């Protein structure tokens, strides 16, 4: 009697745990499907190649590089988050708009325009004294081995739109 009772509860226990496990596995299968279904929608809002208005009008862009910060929504694996982006924006001598990524090509610190008094008219990286000319090319014999990445850009209704930073050929 006692034994039987025991057995039932043991079977029950097994049953429960199997159902639980099954449920868990089903969830595991469902998650990728859900992501699949949700992804295209999210992509529209994300940084997936779309250029976003960074809140700077074309008229305010001068020959002096200025720092621009903006947010983009990004879906990255598990995380969906706002990431902030930064660019150095200016007009070059031909009047063309340039937008450089501030990320140093050595080990990734942020460079600053005229960040060092010793090197006017250059971008300067405070971490290991990396330097770049105004056109973004790395100064030889400083740690960076490639020029600063360039943002895709366009002007729409007088406002600056920026996209993804793209690497270019080394100097």
Partner 1 sequence: MKWTPEDLQKYVQAKEYIDTAIIPVLGFQMNDEKKLEKEAFQREVLSIYTNEIEKELSGRLLLTPPYNYVKSNDMSGELNRLNDWIDHIKEQPFTSVFILTFDNQWKKNEKDLNAELLWFPSVQTGDIKSEETIRMIRNQVDQISELIRTYW
Binding site for partner 1 (CB under 8 A): 104, 106-110, 125-128, 143
Residue number, 102 or 136, with CB nearest to partner 1: 102
Start-to-end Cα distance in the chain: 87
Q: Which does 110 bind (CB under 5 to 8 A by kind): partner 1, ligand FES, none?
A: partner 1
Q: What is the rounded CA–CA span in Å between residue 76 and residue 82?
A: 11
Residue whose beta carbon is closest to ligand FES: 130
Structure tokens at 136: 């973004």
Q: Which of 42, 51, 75, 109 binds ligand FES (CB under 6 A)?
A: 109
Q: Which of 106, 136, 137, 160 binds ligand FES (CB under 6 A)?
A: 106
State the nearest-atom distance from the C-beta of 117 to ligand FES, in Å: 17
Residue 138: C-alpha distances to residues 88, 91, 119, 148 (Å): 15, 19, 13, 7
Alpha helices in 46-100 (DSSP H): none
């Amino acid at each position: 009697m006692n034994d039987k009772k025991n057995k039932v509860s043991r079977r029950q226990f097994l049953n429960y745990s199997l159902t639980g496990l099954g449920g868990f596995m089903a969830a595991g299968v469902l998650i990728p499907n859900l992501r699949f279904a949700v992804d295209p929608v999210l992509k529209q809002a994300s940084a997936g190649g779309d250029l976003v208005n960074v809140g700077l009008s074309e008229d305010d862009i001068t020959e002096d590089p200025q720092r621009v910060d903006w947010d983009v929504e990004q879906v990255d694996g598990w995380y969906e988050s706002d990431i902030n982006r930064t660019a150095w924006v200016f007009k070059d001598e031909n009047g063309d708009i340039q937008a450089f990524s501030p990320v140093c090509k050595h080990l990734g610190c942020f460079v600053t325009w005229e960040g060092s008094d010793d090197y006017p008219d250059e971008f300067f990286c405070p971490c290991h004294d990396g330097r770049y000319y105004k056109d973004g090319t790395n100064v030889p014999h400083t740690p960076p081995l490639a020029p600063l990445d360039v943002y895709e850009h366009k002007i729409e209704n007088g406002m600056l739109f920026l996209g993804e930073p793209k690497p270019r050929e080394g100097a």
